[in-house]
Structures are given as C-alpha cells and as structure tokens.
Amino acid sequence: MKDLKEIAADAVDLVSPAIERLFERTNRKELHIVVMNPQVKPWEVSFEDAILFEKSLGSPESWSISFDQFARKKAQQAWRESTSNIQLQTLHPSALREDDLLFYGSFVYGNIVVACSGVEQWYDMLISGWIAVAIEQLTMHEYQMQKLENPTKTYR
C-alpha cells in the first residue's frame, strides 16, 4: 500500500492538469501547496513535523511574494483549528492570532488539511479542495485494494 506522502504527491499530479487549466484565468501562474499529515494532531507534534508534502508550481526563484510561507501560514491556521481559514476569517475572527495570515486558501476534508498560495485566494481554496478530496479518495482506493488482497489482515 502506498504511504500517505506518495498518495499526496499522486493527488497533486492527478489534479495538475486542472490547475494548469485554471492558470489560464488566474492573476499569475505561481502556486505553493502544503499538505498536512492527517494522522497527527497539533498537540502531538510541531507544525513543521506535521507537514506531509509540499510542492511549488511556477518559478519560485522569481516570486515577488513568499507564497511558500503564505501557504504554510494558511495550513497552520487550518490545522490548528481543524477548519478552513475562511471560517476563521469570516465567522470566528476571535480565534485569529497576531501572526495569522489574513488571506484564505485552505481546505479541510475530514482530517486532511491542504493549503495553497499564489493565485487569488478563492482559487487557492478551490485547488486545496481538489487536492484534499483526491487524497481521501486515492487513500480509499488503496485501503479497499488492501482489503481485497488481504481479507484476513486484522490491522492496517
């Protein structure tokens, strides 16, 4: 069975054609993606240790803004609060901290947290959602195949 990091990379590759298509209508063609490990909680490990996968699209060396840092900040908010950062910014701003980024662009699907930065924040959120759902469904596929191949296996 693929591990979660392989599945996250596979999910990003799977939705990359849609991201490239979306780049035809965005303000730039730059993006940084952060995927958090859904198997760990904020009280178990540091934020940095909980990052499962990161990937930059475009030309990071020419970025005028640190999209990688923005994406990490968005992921940190969402992971810490177990909800997308648009929820904090629009419904629960009392939970915002001094160093929280005031752009949204994360998506939380079950325990999967994905955040992106580089294009308009609504498109960052859209891409994050595509990746999060893809991760869960690719994991579901791996899980179901494992059950079929090893029907008497007791634990994962």
pTM of the model: 0.95
Domain count, the chain: 1
Question: How far is CA 37 from its chain centroid?
Answer: 9
Torsion sign (Cα): 36, 42, 44, 45? positive
54 three-class SS = strand
Which helix (DSSP H) or strand (DSSP E) does residue 52 occupy?
Answer: strand 51-57
Classify residue 156: in a domain, yes or no. no
Classify residue 47: in a domain, yes or no. yes
Q: What's the rounded Cα separation, in Å, for the pair 57 and 79?
A: 22
Give residue-wise pLDDT tens across range 36-68. Answer: 999 999 999 999 999 999 999 999 999 999 999
Q: What is the pLDDT of residue 150?
A: 87
Q: What is the pLDDT of residue 155?
A: 76
> Which residue range is the domain that position 113 belongs to?
4-149
DSSP string, 76-134: HHHHHHTS-HHHHHHT-GGG--TT--S---EEEETTEEEEEESS-HHHHHHHHHHHHHH
**30 pLDDT higher than 90:** yes
Classify residue 74: in a domain, yes or no. yes
Question: Residue 95's domain is classified under what CATH number?
Answer: 3.30.450.150
